[in-house]
Structure 1
Amino acid sequence: MTGHGYRAFLEEMLAPLGGVAIRRMFGGLGLFRDRLMFGLVVRDVLYFKVASDEAAAFAAEGGAPFSYATGGGRVTTIASYWRAPDRLSDDPEEFLAWARRACAAAEAAARARPPGRRKAGPVA
C-alpha cells in the first residue's frame, strides 16, 4: 500500500481516536491529535511516538528508531519515534491500542517541556 492508499488506511484505522489530523511534512506525513504529533510516516513506514520506558517493546517487535541516510552514514534524529510493528495493520484493535500509547507519549513529552519550548502542531 503506498501514497494516498496508505493515508486512507491510516485515516480509517485512526478514526476511532477522534480529532486526528494527517499533514504532509518533509516528504512524508505527520500524525497529530490535540495538536500534538504522535506519529510520522516516511516512505509508507509508520513510526509512533514512544515513551522512553516503552522503547523495549518496540525493539522486541523488531522496530527501530526513526533514522535517515546521509552521505556520511545513517542519522537517528528522532529517537522517540519507533517503527510500528507491521502486524498492527492486520489488527485494528491492537493498532488503536498502540496509537493511544503514542498519543499518551506525545502528551507526556509536551508536559515535560519547559513552558517556553512548548509548540503546538497544526489545528485539525
Structure 2
Amino acid sequence: MSEPFTDLCVELLSPLGPVRTRAMFGGRGFYVDGLFMALIADGQFFLKADDTTRERFIAAGCRPFAFQTKDGERVVMSYFQPPEEALESAPLMLPWARLALEAALRAANAKANVKAKQPAAKKRSAAKKAPAKKAAARGG
C-alpha cells in the first residue's frame, strides 16, 4: 500500500540513494544504505539529528519529535522536522537529509565500535568456561 506523503518523502530523500521504508510504531521508518535516518509519526516527517547536527535544526526553527508516555511524561527524541520549504523539493531537502544521514552514520559507527570491543570480552569469558566444559565432557 502506497501513501502519497510517504511517497513524497521517499522522493525527497532519493538523491541520497535508494530509500527503503517500513512500518513502525504506527508510522514509517526511512532507511538509506541500511541506515535509519528519518521517520513519519503523526503525519509529520522527521530527520535524525545528533549532538553534531542538532543546533542546525534548532537554529532553523525545526520542531523535535516528542511524545507522551502513558505516565504523561514528555519524551523528546533526536529527530527534527525539516524546514517547511524543504518539503517542496529534493534540492531544498538535500542539505537537511545529508545532516540526517551523517547523524545515522555516526550512530551506526558508534554501535559498531561498541560491538567490536565486546567480542574480546566474550572470548575471555568463553576461554574461562572452556576448561570446565572439557572436564565435563571427559566425565571429570
- Shared fold per TM-score greater than 0.5: yes
TM-score (norm 2): 0.71
Native 8 Å contact 1:51 1:105 kept in 2: yes
Matched, 1:44 2:32: no
Considering fraction of residues, name the structure with more strand: 1
Structure-2 residue corresponding to 1:108 = 106
Question: Which structure has the greater CA radius of gyration?
Answer: 2
Moved more, 40-49 or 63-72: 63-72
Deviation for aligned residue 1:35: 1.4
Deviation for aligned residue 1:30: 0.3
Amino acid at match of 2:61: G
State the percentage of identical aligned residues: 32
Q: In the TM superposition, what are the counterparts of 1:54-73 in structure 2 within 5 Å?
A: 54-73=53-72
Q: Tell me how large the CA RMSD over aligned residues is.
A: 2.1
Considering fraction of residues, name the structure with more helix: 2
Native 8 Å contact 1:89 1:95 kept in 2: yes
> What's the secondary structure of 2:3's corresponding residue?
helix
Structure-2 residue corresponding to 1:10 = 9
Amino acid at match of 2:115: P
Structure 2 gaps of 5+ residues are: 117-140
Deviation for aligned residue 1:53: 2.3
RCO greater where, 1 or 2, for CA within 8 Å and sep 6 or more?
Answer: 1
Alpha-carbon distance in 2 for matches of 1:104, 1:21: 17
Deviation for aligned residue 1:72: 3.6
Deviation for aligned residue 1:115: 1.2
